[in-house]
């Protein structure tokens, strides 16, 4: 209430001052009257109205990474800290082989060892890529077969590129 009274008083004083001195133009008087600082409530941040939010284009949200330990890389080198066997979630039943790997980023992750059989042991150097194992909670990485210390799958004939197996030599 007080601010309305003060504002009315200020405009009245401005009008009387403008009447007393010679005016260059009415436009200049109107501009000087509008150059007052905004009231305190206008400086506070307000929520957008529904129409404003419809008019304004939505800002795209940055999605969270599904493999944050790789820090934007496609693959990372790491050293195996331990080799473990875990059981999958229901309704599956198996013995899934995983390795705890300390990456070059300094983070330790659980990575799935794909395929049947492996030659991994502690201190083996491996290449880790992203990609979760659906029935193992917390396992968001896979170890690339056929690179560094991890051999390819033995006697694999289909989907060889995923398991690091060379094309078999055919006899003529």
Q: Which residue has the tokens 């004939």?
A: 157
Q: In terms of Cα–Cα distance, which of 73, 82, 63, 47 is closest to 127?
A: 73
CA angle 59-60-61, nearest 5°? 110
Domain spans of the chain, in order of start = 2-55, 68-162
The 10 Å CB-count burial string (b at 16+, else e) for 55-72 is eeeeeeeeeeeebebbee
Query: What fold is seen in the domain 68-162?
Result: OB fold (Dihydrolipoamide Acetyltransferase, E2P) (2.40.50)
Mind listing the pLDDT tens digit for each residue in 103-155?
Answer: 999 999 999 999 999 999 999 999 999 999 999 999 999 999 999 999 999 99
Place 56 in a pLDDT band, splitting at 50, 70 and 90.
confident
């Amino acid at each position: 209430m007080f601010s309305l009274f003060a504002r009315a008083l200020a405009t009245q004083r401005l009008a009387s001052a403008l009447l007393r001195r010679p005016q260059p133009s009415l436009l200049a008087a109107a501009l000087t009257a509008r150059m007052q600082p905004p009231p305190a409530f206008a400086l506070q941040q307000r929520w957008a109205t529904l129409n404003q939010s419809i008019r304004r284009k939505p800002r795209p949200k940055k999605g969270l990474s599904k493999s944050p330990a790789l820090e934007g890389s496609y693959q990372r080198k790491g050293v195996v800290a331990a080799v473990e066997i875990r059981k999958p979630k229901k309704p599956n039943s198996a013995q899934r082989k995983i390795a705890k790997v300390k990456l070059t980023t300094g983070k330790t992750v659980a990575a799935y060892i794909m395929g049947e059989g492996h030659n991994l042991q502690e201190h083996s150097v491996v290449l880790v890529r992203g990609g979760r194992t659906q029935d193992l909670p917390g396992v968001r990485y896979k170890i690339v077969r056929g690179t560094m210390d991890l051999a390819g799958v033995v006697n694999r004939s289909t989907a060889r590129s995923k398991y690091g197996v060379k094309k078999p030599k055919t006899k003529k």
